Amino acid sequence: MRVTLRDVAEQAGVSVATVSRALSRPEMVSDEARDRIQEISLQLGYRPSREARGIAPGSAGTLGVIVPDLLNPFYPALLKGAQARAREHGLHLLLADAEEAPDGELPLVQTLAPQVDGILLCSSRMSESDLEAASGLTRLCLVNRRHRDLSTVSFDALSGVRAAVRHLVALGHRRIGYVGGPRASRSESERRTALEQVGAELEVEIVDVGHFPPGIQGGISAAEPLLLRELSAALAYNDVLALGLISGLRALGLSVPEDVSVVGWDDIEYAAVSSPALSTVRVPRHRIGALGIDALVAPAGAVTGQRLETRFVPRDSTARRGGTVPERPQQAPEGQRA
Amino acid sequence: MRVTLRDVAEQAGVSVATVSRALSRPEMVSDEARDRIQEISLQLGYRPSREARGIAPGSAGTLGVIVPDLLNPFYPALLKGAQARAREHGLHLLLADAEEAPDGELPLVQTLAPQVDGILLCSSRMSESDLEAASGLTRLCLVNRRHRDLSTVSFDALSGVRAAVRHLVALGHRRIGYVGGPRASRSESERRTALEQVGAELEVEIVDVGHFPPGIQGGISAAEPLLLRELSAALAYNDVLALGLISGLRALGLSVPEDVSVVGWDDIEYAAVSSPALSTVRVPRHRIGALGIDALVAPAGAVTGQRLETRFVPRDSTARRGGTVPERPQQAPEGQRA
């Protein structure tokens, strides 16, 4: 197993931060500590990872991450992946929440930039000109947004959307609602475009149910618009919206999946244990975070573009069309069970 | 309504950060910008809040928050409360996740301290000596841990525990399991103590089901130990454990609340929309975050100790004792409904 900064720290009986300083900014620790830590590093065979050498000597040993909303459970898992990878490099992470405000991101970059070696900018809503300004302040890696001059980690919505729609079509659904998220989100428009493309491929009608705030309450408020459109199946912008939607449908006297099939997006921790367990599209969030950190510690000048697959995970919130959907109660019995 | 930094920024057509700098570190902005922003501040009647004056002139205008685990949904809501209050003071927040490692916190304080005016340390697992060291590096406020020399914001477990146990006793439960969280957590031991005190008061047997990792999987793994103890009701360390427990019981063929009543803790967003909706104890997380920020921007030297009430929220995961609990199937019928 690879020797890490933590191993050196434990052996030396000091903190990881002290080891990090002793090796990268030896002027900050006592000569005695520096000598002892360098000796232990040699004994244990510790070498900074290849990528970590991209971090300039004299740096703070800290990276920044900016997310649009920490309450969206997509981000904590991404942050965990980023954090684990940062730890392997002996680096700390500082996080900031931009509160979904497109003009709130640049001030955060300005605050973080002097204190970090690079920033992972997740699902940025920044304007192109703000992004330009930000990229002049520190090294950036974008998650969920592409840019020709910056390293990016994104995921391929199309693969997951296609598998989800195929699954619904196989269950007899011919009109599929899209319960959308915030207008300003690029992943929202990407998902919407993917859905329309797949709808055309498979000759399925995609029905726009509207844009909703991506939280439980947003999902609850989508139940009535969905019902008015007489839909037997819907894909939601994310799992939280989907869970809210299921709760909202229940409050209106409808059952999922008997009356309406619901598919989420992300595969958050709760998806598998909710009742019914949520069919959803899994996005490799830990891995996205880890690859983002790798891009920030890569040798200076390296610009990488990673694109990860998404995968449909069928569970219990989708079933054969039928049941008591308003427009076709008479067709119910034949297809009650999936 | 109070004039905020944001109002000044909007009027001046600049960012909040620029206004903040112009007013607190005028040497960092152009003379022209400084004059214009100062003029607009006067016109609008902006005054920095009384508390904000506790922040030293020349400071970075940034506070830090350290949490033990961002995946625990207790913290994002607390961070949102802290962030909203920080914004009112024209301050940024930087966050760090200590990954439940008691010896991981001091290095984070060391990293953050030179960059911030103070740190909100949430549910700290630090040793007393580390805490001593940390308090020498920057201003601290503790959430969920008390200390005579530091400002603290905590909540009163006893009020919520007492109401939850009374509710279960009224439903006929006489033995109540405690599905515990991590051993190192102070709120865990506080909750356990409160439960034992209330058990003695109300003459109810409190049965220790064990310590579990505070996530969905931890809850699932608690289902069997709970069952072996032939319990008809349990209180879990937090909502996530409770949701996992319900899922684990379901996998063993038992229903909540018909066979076992389950009470969570925190009232996370999902609690109200899970199926069954989770009876739980509400902890005012937004308010805790906001009060923590207030303590950090209070005039230097002010040490405050705030203690907030917790409140039991009955929902659908608790019901009258009866049903198919193994030890007393013959007693079932009379009390099936709560």
pLDDT digits (tens, 9 = 90+) for A160-190: 999 999 999 999 999 999 999 988 788 899 9
Q: What is the pLDDT of residue B25?
A: 52
Domain residue limits at A193: 157-284+312-336
> Do B273 and A243 count as a contact with CB atoms less than 8 A apart?
yes
> Do B95 and A99 count as a contact with CB atoms less than 8 A apart?
no
Q: What is the pLDDT of residue A28?
A: 64
Over its C-alpha atoms, chain B yields an Rg (Å, rounded) of 24
Reading the block at residue A140, the tokens are 């950036």
* B6/A contact by beta carbon, under 8 A: no
Q: What is the pLDDT of residue B337?
A: 39
Dist. CA A292–CA A284, nearest whole Å: 12
Model confidence at A39: pLDDT above 90: no
pLDDT digits (tens, 9 = 90+) for A190-215: 999 999 999 999 999 999 999 999 88
Nearest C-alpha in B relative to A242 = B273
Q: Choose the closest CB to B96 out of A77, A93, A250.
A: A93
Identity at B316, one-letter amino acid code:
D
Low-confidence ranges of chain B (pLDDT < 70): 1-3, 20-21, 23-28, 42, 45-60, 323-338
| 3-state SS, residue B271 | helix
Q: Name the B residues in 233-272 with CB < 8 Å from any A CB.
A: 240, 243-244, 246-247, 250, 269-270, 272
Do A295 and A151 lie in one domain? The reply is yes
- Neighbouring CB atoms inside 10 A of A180's CB total 24
Looking at chain A, which runs of residues are DSSP E strands?
Answer: 62-67, 92-97, 119-122, 140-143, 151-156, 175-180, 205-211, 233-236, 261-263, 280-282, 305-309, 311-313
Is residue A52, in this structure, part of any structural domain at all? no
Q: What is the pLDDT of residue B324?
A: 42
Is residue A301, in this structure, part of any structural domain at all? yes
Reading the block at residue A241, the tokens are 């919206």
Do B187 and B224 lie in one domain? The reply is yes
Query: CA nearest A331: which of A224, A203, A232?
Result: A232
Nearest C-alpha in A relative to B90 = A107
Do B72 and B185 lie in one domain? The reply is no
Q: Choose the closest CB to A96 out of B76, B93, B99.
A: B93
Dist. CA A135–CA A32, nearest whole Å: 40
Q: Mean pLDDT, to the nearest integer, of A275-297?
A: 96
Please tell me the least confidently modeled range out of A23-37, A305-319, B272-286. Answer: A23-37
Instruction: Provide, as residue numbers in chain B, all residues whose Cβ is less than 8 Å from the Cβ of A247.
Output: 272-273, 275
Provide the CATH number for the domain around residue B171. Answer: 3.40.50.2300
> Do A97 and B93 count as a contact with CB atoms less than 8 A apart?
yes
Do A316 and A200 lie in one domain? The reply is yes
Do B118 and B33 lie in one domain? The reply is no
Is residue B55, in this structure, part of any structural domain at all? no
Per residue in A241-271, is it b (16+ CB within 10 Å) or e — as a string? bbbbbbbbbbeeebebbbbbbbbbbbbbbbb
Do A103 and A120 lie in one domain? The reply is yes
Q: In which residue are the tokens 């899994």 written?
A: A282
Do A195 and A319 lie in one domain? The reply is yes
Is residue A235, in this structure, part of any structural domain at all? yes
Dist. CA B151–CA B147, nearest whole Å: 8
Q: What is the pLDDT of residue A146?
A: 87
Q: What is the pLDDT of residue A45?
A: 64
Instruction: Provide, as residue numbers in chain B, all residues whose Cβ is less than 8 Å from the Cβ of A216.
Output: 269-270, 272-273
Reading the block at residue A19, the tokens are 């080891």
> What number is the ipTM of this complex?
0.70
Do B199 and B322 lie in one domain? The reply is yes
Its pTM stands at: 0.73
Picking from B273, B275, B286 by the largest number of A CB atoms within 10 A of its own CB, the best residue to mutate is B273
Do B108 and B143 lie in one domain? The reply is yes
Reading the block at residue B48, the tokens are 């920095």
Instruction: Provide, as residue numbers in chain B, all residues whose Cβ is less than 8 Å from the Cβ of A215.
Output: 269
Helix axes B128-135, B105-112, angle to 10 degrees: 0
Instruction: Provide, as residue numbers in chain A, all residues whose Cβ is less than 8 Å from the Cβ of B104.
Output: 16
Dist. CA B79–CA A70, nearest whole Å: 8
Q: What is the pLDDT of residue A328?
A: 37
Please tell me the least confidently modeled range out of A113-127, A320-334, B181-195. Answer: A320-334
**Peptide bond before residue A225 is cis, with ω within 30 degrees of 0:** no
**Peptide bond before residue B213 is cis, with ω within 30 degrees of 0:** no
Do A242 and A171 lie in one domain? The reply is yes
Is residue A66, in this structure, part of any structural domain at all? yes
Do A12 and A80 lie in one domain? The reply is no
> Do B93 and A93 count as a contact with CB atoms less than 8 A apart?
no
Picking from A72, A85, A87, A95 by the largest number of B CB atoms within 10 A of its own CB, the best residue to mutate is A95
Q: What is the pLDDT of residue A49?
A: 46
DSSP state of A61: S
Q: What is the pLDDT of residue A326?
A: 40
* B209/A contact by beta carbon, under 8 A: no
Q: What is the pLDDT of residue A336?
A: 39
Q: Choose the closest CB to B17 out of A83, A92, A111.
A: A111
Do B210 and B321 lie in one domain? The reply is yes
pLDDT digits (tens, 9 = 90+) for A203-256: 999 999 999 998 899 999 999 999 999 999 999 999 999 999 999 999 999 999
Is residue B248, in this structure, part of any structural domain at all? yes
> Do A273 and B17 count as a contact with CB atoms less than 8 A apart?
no
Model confidence at A52: pLDDT above 50: no
> Do A73 and B73 count as a contact with CB atoms less than 8 A apart?
yes
Residue B308 phi, psi (nearest 5): -100, 150
Is residue B52, in this structure, part of any structural domain at all? no
Q: What is the pLDDT of residue B29?
A: 72
Instruction: Return the number of CB contacts < 8 Å for A and B.
Output: 114
Provide the greatest CA pair distance for chain B: 84
> What's the number of domains chain B is made of?
3
Is residue B50, in this structure, part of any structural domain at all? no
Instruction: Provide, as residue numbers in chain A, all residues whose Cβ is less than 8 Å from the Cβ of B77.
Output: 71
Q: What is the pLDDT of residue B184?
A: 78
Confidence grade of residue A334 (pLDDT, cut at 50, 70, 90): very low
Confidence grade of residue A260 (pLDDT, cut at 50, 70, 90): very high
Whole-number average pLDDT of chain A: 86
* B297/A contact by beta carbon, under 8 A: no
Dist. CA A183–CA A245, nearest whole Å: 18
Reading the block at residue A272, the tokens are 């598998």
